[in-house]
Chain A
Amino acid sequence: MRIRFRFAKTGKVRFTSHRDVARLWERALRRAELPVASTQGFSPRPKVHFGLALPTGHESLGEYLDVDLREPECASVDPAELPQLLTPLLPAGLTVEAAALVDRPGPSLQEAVTSCSWRIEVPGADLAELTAAVERLLAAPEAWVTRERKGRPVTDDIRPAVAMLAIAGSLPPDRLEPGVVLEAELATQPRGVRPSELLAALEPPHQEGRVCRTHQWIALDGARREPLPAPTTWAPHAQARAS
């Protein structure tokens, strides 16, 4: 039996790595004494499947995790109770928003997700200048960026990956300097484009401040939906826990 969790990663805990979060989950699942299935063999590992890695330092309101439970012990597990059970067993800022049974034959989270929505803070940016830069990028047929891959520079066109890009407003007043907030939807196939690459592709290039992944999207029968919808109450709850 597979259970899918949706969780948020906000506040100080955003500085943990993808690997750190995996280990935090493994410990929390053990503390909750859930009957997590294990791999066979010499060194058994819990059967836990993570979605797309979130860059260290970025926040998220939509992270996912699939956990396989052992038959028949899993019969006593009620997914609806799991968010309340697990959130206190995770560090402050990792908040379990929802849990539900999933059909086993689906593709893995990594394969299923086709794009992510981002909220990108650009400290120090001027609203008019950035608005113009965004318009230029959207009007351009291509947008080349150079990144380092295995120690070598690789240049490619990220314009096809930019599904949406818009100005969302000004930075919240508690930030050290004023600036602008962008909203973007970036494709994850064939490779995940990072918000920093998007800002590097702007003319002139910009540097990101705080970044939050607000949604991950999967395509199903031509429609776009989230791997697990968030309960309607999530936003204020997650924000309150953010430090």
Chain B
Amino acid sequence: MTSIWPQLEPILPKVARPARYIGLEDGSVQPHHDPRKVSWLLLYPDTYEIGLPNQGLQILYEILNERDDALAERSYAPWVDLEAELRSRGLPLFSVDTHRPAGEFDLLAFNLSAELVYTNVLNCIDLAGVPVRAAARRPEHPLVLAGGHCTYNPEPLADFLDAVVLGDGEEVVAEITEVVRDWKASGRTDGSREGVLRALARVPGVYVPSLYDVAYDGPRLVAVTPRFADVPDRVEKRTIADLADWPYPRRQLVPLTEVVHDRLNVEVFRGCTRGCRFCQAGMITRPVRERPAEQVRTMVAEGLRRTGYDEVALTSLSTADFSGIEEVVRAVVDDPVNGQQTSVSLPSLRVDAFTVGIAAQLQRARRTGLTFAPEAGTWRMRQVINKLIREQDLYDAVDAAFSQGWRRMKLYFLTGLPTETDEDTLGIAELGRNCVEIGRRHTRSASVTLSVGGFVPKPFTPFQWFGQNTVPELHRKVGLLRDDLRRHRSVQLKWHDPKATLVEGLTSRGDRRLGPVIEDVWRQAGTFQEWSERFRLDLWLDALARAGLDPDWYVHRHRTEDEVLPWDHLSAGLHKDFLWQDWRDALDEVGLEDCRWTPCYDCGACTGYSIEHIVASATPPAGGSQGTGQDLAAESSTPVQLLARPPQARPAQAGAR
């Protein structure tokens, strides 16, 4: 079978938003299938609207389709209405590019960006006509792979994945293609699956769960050990040394129907060394690798011309830290073709007036709302999480924003952080009230939205040992804020469902024993759990009970230093003793500087892989104090304490304030 489009066509009028399933995006390809080529199906296990913009998937799509020996197509989780139609007609999951059955590809490669999609992964494998359990697959079945941030603890999905890729995918997909090409050439004979998995395990960055034995002592994990000598004890992540070598996506996909982040996206750097202790992305993507400003300018100009978008986002974990930011902003704004109508967005604004100034240059039109992420309500709490924003930084930023025409601020916070007291929680409300007061000096319609999420400790962060707050405790904290803000109608409070936070915590730090739980929830039709209208805590609790597992043990328990963690046999380059020291420092309310501009504290990410930060400027970005520590001592009444280390020459201080 080549395409199921003729069977699909009569079904699509019956389902919601059928444009999700037709492909045809500008930038998409209709690859020529050839038995000698390795065929990849890149899957995002959520709806098309969420999955299409994913940059990682788009980058790999292009890189693979540029190869002579590979091709790639895409697929997204069909919504429940189409799933029901497919199942009732015996039709499989399909690619959106050529509507080919998913089971006909050599590889099903999932992007895992969030834990709550795990049941969708199983559903997609099943809809592809492939056994959900890796052990039941035969040589004719595709290899099932996963990459993305969640793969730093893939253990809950170990039963279902053939192989897992850690870190940047740009280089490793070539090596995987070669292994699979050889497997195809050998005829995929009976029993050959074990051989190809062994070969994949020898590729740096590739983890094959089935090649490891797991030992438990009661509830405790004792060891995860390779079953063969040629399988590594510890799998290290892959890191591309220089983003300049990878100017992808060159042809960003332009969807026909509206999706999230529906704009041109240009990644300006990867990695972050701010050192926010709750932030897994910042820890696992080190070191910082900036794209040259000239390349950013070219990608923006060419991308806008090619796509017809009137908005471009400069993406990274903290774009105001990009050392070429002013140069790039000036180039976009001054471009005679695009400049007048193009708006530029910085998806992660740093909290300071300098950043607002940049934003003001960029968003000359449509100045409606700005978002900042102070993350915690008091300075003490922000020292614990190492998000070193002074209150004054926030007030300066908010004042600058309201004075320059913005009318709505959104502030992101976490609650349930380590050592958090009710005073810290209520500090969130106080910041919100003060921001509204500042706004009222400029506009009567000033409003502030406080968005509060329950904190989920993540692997490979200093908080990986912390016992997550319980659902009642998170509810109590949200209740404190609601009571406190009841009479302040200009301050709106939004919060995430603590029940979903519980399941996220379960899957983010769980081990292989959660496999049957995930399978159970999926079999009870528990798909799209990240969608609040579909989330069902009861399915998870029932499944845990049936498996004899205790959610408290997985989620709410503090871990000890000597405990074997389910991801100890994987590595993001970070030394475990660095993370433990940072955890102790957090409990002591001690901050840690951004190592881009201060001496190395040997977290392991650079030294372990013999790579370095690539930062165009030795000078920290102007303005603000966040994380750099550089100008805190000068003005702050509460100077951050820095870790004791031998005095060394510091790079030049930031000039502009």
Residues of A in contact with B (beta carbons under 8 Å apart): 12-13, 15-17, 19-20, 23-24, 26-31, 33, 38, 42-44, 56-57, 89, 91-93, 123, 174, 176, 209, 243
B310 contact set on A, CB distance < 8 A:
30
In the complex the two chains form, what is the Cα distance from A93 to B25 in whole Å? Answer: 12
B19 and A42 form a contact (CB under 8 A)? no
In whole Å, how far is A48's beta carbon from the nearest beta carbon of chain B? Answer: 13
A42 and B306 form a contact (CB under 8 A)? no
Which residues in chain B, 586-606, are within 8 Å of chain A measured between CB atoms?
none
A23 contact set on B, CB distance < 8 A:
258
Return the contact of A91 from the options B26, B337, B367 (Cβ within 8 A): B26
B365 interface contact, C-beta 8 A: yes
In the complex the two chains form, what is the Cα distance from A137 to B367 in whole Å? Answer: 56
A15 and B258 form a contact (CB under 8 A)? no
B18 and A15 form a contact (CB under 8 A)? yes
A57-B24 contact given A30-B310, A176-B10, CB 8 Å threshold? no
A15-B307 contact given A27-B254, A176-B6, A176-B10, CB 8 Å threshold? no
A12 contact set on B, CB distance < 8 A:
5, 22-24
Contact with A along B298-323 (1 / 0, CB 8 A): 00000001111110000000000000
A16 contact set on B, CB distance < 8 A:
19, 22, 256-257
In the complex the two chains form, what is the Cα distance from A13 to B256 in whole Å? Answer: 8
In the complex the two chains form, what is the Cα distance from A17 to B13 in whole Å? Answer: 12
Return the contact of A15 from the options B22, B26, B365 (Cβ within 8 A): B22
In whole Å, how far is B630's beta carbon from the nearest beta carbon of chain A? Answer: 38
B619 interface contact, C-beta 8 A: no
In the complex the two chains form, what is the Cα distance from A174 to B7 in whole Å? Answer: 12
B12 interface contact, C-beta 8 A: yes
B365 contact set on A, CB distance < 8 A:
42-44
B366 interface contact, C-beta 8 A: yes
A43-B256 contact given A27-B309, A89-B308, CB 8 Å threshold? no
Return the contact of B257 from the options A20, A93, A174 (Cβ within 8 A): A20
In the complex the two chains form, what is the Cα distance from A31 to B5 in whole Å? Answer: 30
A15-B337 contact given A27-B308, A28-B308, A42-B366, CB 8 Å threshold? no
Residues of B in contact with A (beta carbons under 8 Å apart): 5-7, 10, 12-13, 17-19, 21-26, 254, 256-258, 305-310, 337, 341, 365-367
Nearest opposing residue in chain A for B405, CB measure = A42
Nearest opposing residue in chain B for A209, CB measure = B10
B24 contact set on A, CB distance < 8 A:
12-13, 91-93
In whole Å, how far is A42's beta carbon from the nearest beta carbon of chain B? Answer: 7
B-side interface mostly: loop
Return the contact of A57 from the options B18, B26, B254, B367 (Cβ within 8 A): B18
B366 contact set on A, CB distance < 8 A:
42-43
23 contacts between A and B (CB under 8 A): A12-B22, A12-B23, A12-B24, A13-B22, A13-B24, A15-B18, A15-B19, A26-B308, A27-B307, A27-B308, A30-B309, A31-B305, A31-B307, A31-B308, A42-B366, A43-B365, A44-B341, A44-B365, A57-B13, A57-B18, A91-B256, A176-B6, A209-B10
20 more CB-based (< 8 A) A-B contacts, given A24-B256, A38-B341: A12-B22, A13-B22, A15-B12, A16-B256, A16-B257, A20-B256, A20-B257, A23-B258, A26-B308, A27-B307, A30-B341, A31-B308, A42-B365, A42-B367, A43-B365, A57-B13, A57-B18, A89-B308, A91-B25, A176-B6
A91 contact set on B, CB distance < 8 A:
24-26, 256
B21 and A15 form a contact (CB under 8 A)? yes
Nearest opposing residue in chain B for A38, CB measure = B341
A20 contact set on B, CB distance < 8 A:
19, 256-258
B19 contact set on A, CB distance < 8 A:
15-17, 20, 56
A15 contact set on B, CB distance < 8 A:
12, 18-19, 21-22
A27 contact set on B, CB distance < 8 A:
254, 307-309
Nearest opposing residue in chain A for B23, CB measure = A12
A29 contact set on B, CB distance < 8 A:
308
A31 and B306 form a contact (CB under 8 A)? yes
In the complex the two chains form, what is the Cα distance from A43 to B26 in whole Å? Answer: 27
A89 contact set on B, CB distance < 8 A:
308
In whole Å, how far is B404's beta carbon from the nearest beta carbon of chain A? Answer: 14
In the complex the two chains form, what is the Cα distance from A89 to B307 in whole Å? Answer: 9
Nearest opposing residue in chain B for A243, CB measure = B5
A24 contact set on B, CB distance < 8 A:
256
In the complex the two chains form, what is the Cα distance from A29 to B10 in whole Å? Answer: 32
Return the contact of A30 from the options B18, B308, B367 (Cβ within 8 A): B308
In the complex the two chains form, what is the Cα distance from A38 to B365 in whole Å? Answer: 13
In the complex the two chains form, what is the Cα distance from A13 to B307 in whole Å? Answer: 18
B337 contact set on A, CB distance < 8 A:
33
Ranked nearest first, the 9 interchain pairs of A and B with the lowest CB-CB distance are: A27-B308, A15-B18, A31-B308, A30-B308, A57-B13, A12-B22, A16-B19, A43-B366, A20-B257
